[in-house]
Amino acid sequence: MSSRRIASSLLTTPAATTVSSVRFTQHTPKLCTSSSDPRHRFHQLSQHAPAPKVLITGGLGQLGRSLANVLKYMYGPDSVVLSDIARRPAGHDHLSPFCYINILDKTSVEAAVVNNNIDTLIHFSALLSAVGESNVPLALKVNGQGVENVLEVARTYNLKVFIPSTIGAFGPTTPRDGTPDITVQRPRTIYGVTKVYAELLGEYYFERFGTDFRSLRFPGVISDTNPGGGTTDYAIQIFYDAILKGSHECYLRPDTELPMVYDTDCMTSVIQLLLAPAEKLSLRTYNIQGFSFTPEQIAAVIRKRMPEFEMTYKVCPMRQKIADSWPRSLDDTNARHDWNWDPKYDLEKTADIMFELLTAKLLPPQPKLATL
Ligand SMILES: NC(=O)C1=CN([C@@H]2O[C@H](COP(=O)(O)OP(=O)(O)OC[C@H]3O[C@@H](n4cnc5c(N)ncnc54)[C@H](O)[C@@H]3O)[C@@H](O)[C@H]2O)C=CC1
Ligand SMILES: CC(=O)[C@H](N)C(=O)O
């Protein structure tokens, strides 16, 4: 099927035209007067605290770019410094201010903190589950030593520090449905092992030194940015493939259920947790859940918007084994109770916005017919 045909089938789908696009590229809170605009949530949250000065490590990754946009929207362009070992892609000068930080070099983290007067450190540098299995020594260094460096810098300079964890911090002996915050954590991937280490070390720094460590166990995050090499990546790739090819070859079995969350909700969770008063926090590491689905369920949701969409399966044994060891859904009662976690996106709403954002990004606009 040609991309033009796909585009026209999308444009005639009512659902795809009802969602407003969410872009956080400017500090323009006065624009969001409607409470149905997702930016409204960030505008409201920005009223509650003085602007932080944030350093994001791994800032060119899937979540770093998104959070930088939200923070700039909330607090202005100078509120955030992005860092990474990768170079900014051509045409991405808006990902600034930017500096090189290899997370294995503690001095470069310290220099960025001091030079930019940072008070909040968001540590996103990591090797994700699938990439981690293909290079265990590097995953141990980046995910293990990286966390050690970040926590030491946070302790030394008295910074608030956010280090995400993941559903990958659980394993096959964890209860898989409605997984609670406190339960068995015996992961079987190097990614999971290093994430349990990050949770425990962060909580140790909090108890021992009073370092303001906060963490969330994210499900797979769905956004219009390219994913970094995890097991849940298919849930993003499927939208790219649907729009560009009309089909997707899935590396997981059709019945593999995993928890996911849409980007805007995920970013909201980070901001809400960072802004929560310390006395409200009964935990330092919380589960958050968006919605759960299987590959065959997301394929059906895509087919509602694109009836010609075809899904085939070629199971990757390594990724399937990882997915089979992860929870199918998380219990996020504590996050809801302690700091009002309240996700707005379900699978249908996520599909709507992914089609809207990716159609605009991937398909060139139709040339206007010349007036005769
Ligand atoms: N995206 C998701 O679905 C989920 C992500 N998370 C966590 O959120 C955090 C961010 O994830 P993503 O943005 O998706 O990852 P990503 O893979 O897209 O980005 C990671 C970034 O880390 C950088 N990096 C790698 N080695 C580095 C080093 N030595 N020094 C500095 N930077 C280095 C990479 O260049 C990359 O830009 C990670 O800790 C991840 O475990 C947790 C659960 C779900
Ligand atoms: C859920 C995650 O931590 C990540 N997306 C991965 O699949 O590795």
Using CA positions, which residue lies closest to atom 6 of ligand 2?
Answer: 230
| Torsional class of 229: left (φ above 0), alpha (ψ -120 to 50), beta (otherwise) | left
Ligand 1 in reach of 221 Cβ (< 6 A): yes
Ligand 2 shell residues, CB under 6 Å? 128-129, 166-168, 191, 220, 230-232
Task: Note the ligand closest to the C-alpha atom of 129.
Answer: 2
DSSP conformation class of 309: -
Other Cβ atoms closer than 10 A to 360:
12
Protein residue with least CA distance to atom 18, ligand 1: 61
Instruction: State the distance from the centre of ligand 2 to the C-alpha of 273, rounded, in angstroms.
Output: 20
Interval between CA 235 and ligand 2 midpoint (Å) = 11
Over the range 284-315, which residues count as b (16 or more CB within 10 Å of their CB) and which as e? bbbbbbbbbbbbeebbebbeebbeebebeeee
Per-residue CA distances from 280 to 46, 180, 268, 272 (Å): 19, 19, 17, 12
Give the residue whose CA is nearest to atom 4 of ligand 2.
230
What are the C-alpha distances in Å from 335 to residues 262, 290, 332? 17, 12, 5
**Whether the CB of 198 sits within 6 Å of ligand 1:** no
Which atom of ligand 2 lies nearest, measured to the CA of 232?
7
How many angstroms separate the Cα of 91 from the Cα of each of 87, 96, 358? Answer: 11, 12, 18
Residue 58 CB less than 6 A away from ligand 1: yes
**54/344 Cα distance (integer angstroms):** 26
Expressed in angstroms, the distance from the first to the final Cα of the chain is: 31
Q: Residue 287 Cα, ligand 2 centroid: separation in angstroms?
A: 14
Residue nearest (by alpha carbon) to ligand 2 atom 1: 220
Counting ligands in written order, the one closest to the CA of 62 is: 1
Residue 212's CB: how many other CB atoms inside 10 A?
Answer: 18
Gap between the Cα atoms of 232 and 40, Å rounded: 29
Domains recognised in the chain with CATH numbers: 3-221+262-290+328-345 (3.40.50.720)
Instruction: Look up 73 and say whether it is catalytic.
Output: no
pLDDT string in tens for the chain (372-residue length): 444 343 333 333 323 222 233 444 434 344 444 555 667 788 888 877 788 999 999 999 999 999 999 999 999 999 999 999 999 988 888 899 999 999 999 999 999 999 999 999 999 999 999 999 999 999 999 999 999 999 999 999 999 999 999 999 999 999 999 999 999 999 999 999 999 999 999 999 999 999 999 999 999 999 999 999 999 999 999 999 999 999 999 999 999 999 999 999 999 999 999 999 999 999 999 999 999 999 999 999 999 999 999 999 999 999 999 999 999 999 999 999 999 999 999 999 999 999 999 999 998 777 766 655
| Among 73, 100, 157, 191, the one annotated catalytic | 191
CA of 220 to the centre of ligand 2 (A): 5
